[in-house]
Amino acid sequence: MSKRATFRLQPVLELRRTEERAAAAAAAAAMSAAVEADRRATEQETALGNAVLPRSLPGGSFVAAMVLLRTAATDAADARLSALAQAEQAEAVRAEWTAAAQRTKALERLAERHRLAQQHAMDMAEERAADDLVTGRAGRAPRTGEDQAWTD
């Protein structure tokens, strides 16, 4: 294709594709972080749920065990809040990826339209060349008596 036939937005399309790939990688990383945060929160909640206090403890040990359980409960709640925040962040990053993909798709449609228009122009040029060739040969062909009868 000639210089005029190239898609002028090709550099922008390549940039959009790069942005989309980066957004996809960020979405995958964010989802992985959200899954890991959820796993840790579930692990802490399970450990807290399985904690058992002995039936008899001296006063100081009982207070220490209760403080430990309270701290574990707070840590589990914080881990769950962190997991929820990670999930929301992953959703926001996924939405950015979707938007990047839509921008890329729009430019890809423009590029395809451009390609089709160029193909159509090339097809029309070939058709005109073929018509010119046929018309040129007909003009150079010796005229017969029948041909002259129709044109006279």
Task: Tell me how far apart the alpha carbons of residues 46 and 150 are, in angstroms, rounded to a whole number.
Answer: 100
User: Taking the model in full, what pTM does it have?
Assistant: 0.66
- Where in the chain are the domains? 9-112
pLDDT confidence of residue 29: 97
pLDDT confidence of residue 1: 47
pLDDT confidence of residue 88: 97
CA distances from 60 to 56, 66, 67, 150 (A): 12, 10, 11, 123
Residues (pLDDT < 70) of the chain are: 1-4, 137-152
